[in-house]
Structure 1
């Protein structure tokens, strides 16, 4: 828990509406926010929407070497990173099992799993050393109730959840669960679970829709801020539902 201290937080997938909302909220809470996207022009425009002080960075998070370069640049610029909010994702679906395409799987695995693996491995030591280290991803209710049409999507999200919970186990073993020298848990990895996300632009484009069960990106943003105000012991390894 930060106890009001300003933290260095990386928002991966910062070009999306959820990335903009999360970056804006974290910056509003007084943190130093670095928002990352693969397209330089898009991430710069998104950071401008998120507000003054949000720093845009272009990086292909699916490229391990590029992520290592990103880590080195951030270390030189800001020091240790205290939080990674992973919002990289996307949706691909089909009619059933037999038409789940390899192209869709490659897209989902790259965005949901590979980018997470690269970011969490590279920044793991930072998060483990921080007194308020946090890793968070956004997963889906589809993991618990997958459909044939969404098989690839649910499988990729399930893999991302498993990886994140494994990171949580690493934090626990190194801190509160350490056999020889246990310390108070101060790092946490969590999974936010939503049915789907909705933002103001989507509501404006379809005013007749009610978006039942959807989570507004502003609610996700508030939950992200709350991670750094909640003790790690209450968070680590948890799946936190945000669906209504």
Structure 2
């Protein structure tokens, strides 16, 4: 475990299958986990699945004032946040370039970019000051060969990756100024799969997909890996 003891880790998008798996793995590794979701009932249910070390918080991460209040609530409950695992996103596609809709773009920009900007700006200083500060997002192999059908999706993901790389530069500069050894990292998957999805589609093979349990294990490893190896890294988890 990184640091001198249990770390305070914030998991956004916590009510989804990946959020639950990541929270469970972090709690099993001895960390204190704060799980954030936009629906109070869902995030409370997710925290119950994650275990006693997980605390649920409800917040619209696309609203900056709400994220600032979230920081006050979390720090008042468990102390300053050491790390954020940002799992908010979503998927929208089309047939090609012409039918990429404004509604789909607004949805993707809000989920992949606006929430990231808000969370990173509010929690950056806390992470930078930590003895084991970590920030991670999940991105897609689709960026490596963008298609017309996924134009809005890959554009939003590309913006999220660029922002995260800029955070890496910010952490590097903060460390040079006397801050902690924080790192911002992109975890890359083709798709995520869990047992419920497999049960819902028993005939599908999900080739190249990453199980949420494997994503969770990769997140836990971030805290045992030197920040110099992680900061600005794009770690491919896909097969």
TM range, normalised to the smaller chain?
over 0.9
- Which secondary structure does the structure 1 equivalent of 2:52 belong to? coil
Q: Structure 2: any 5+ residue segments left out of the alignment?
A: none
Q: Which residue of 2 aligns with 1:226?
A: 221
Measured at CA, do residues 4 and 202 of structure 1 come closer, stay the same or move farther in structure 2, by a change above 3 Å? farther
Provide the aligned length of Structure 1 versus Structure 2: 239
Q: Which residue of 2 aligns with 1:109?
A: 109
- Which secondary structure does the structure 2 equivalent of 1:18 belong to? helix
Contact 1:47 1:56 (8 Å CA) reproduced: yes
Map 1:92-171 → 2, pairs under 5 A: 92-171=92-171
TM-score, scaled to structure 1: 0.95
Map 1:19-98 → 2, pairs under 5 A: 19-98=19-98
Q: CA deviation at 1:174?
A: 1.9
Contact 2:31 2:53 (8 Å CA) reproduced: no
Q: CA deviation at 1:237?
A: 0.2
1:240 maps onto 2:235 in alignment = yes
2:156 and 2:185 map into 1 onto residues whose CA distance is: 17
Q: CA deviation at 1:207?
A: 2.2
Map 1:211-222 → 2, pairs under 5 A: 211-222=206-217
Provide, for residues 112-162 of structure 1, a one-character-per-residue CA deviation record: whole Å limited to 9, x for no partner: 000010000000000000010000000001112110000000000000000
1:3 and 1:107 map into 2 onto residues whose CA distance is: 37
TM-score, scaled to structure 2: 0.97
2:178 and 2:61 map into 1 onto residues whose CA distance is: 33
Provide, for residues 6-33 of structure 1, a one-character-per-residue CA deviation record: whole Å limited to 9, x for no partner: 0000000001100000000000100000
1:16 and 1:59 map into 2 onto residues whose CA distance is: 15
The runs of at least 4 aligned residues of structure 1 exceeding 6 Å deviation read: none
1:174 and 1:129 map into 2 onto residues whose CA distance is: 8
Structure 1 window deviating more from structure 2 (68-77 vs 157-166): it is: 68-77
1:98 and 1:6 map into 2 onto residues whose CA distance is: 50
1:207 maps onto 2:195 in alignment = no
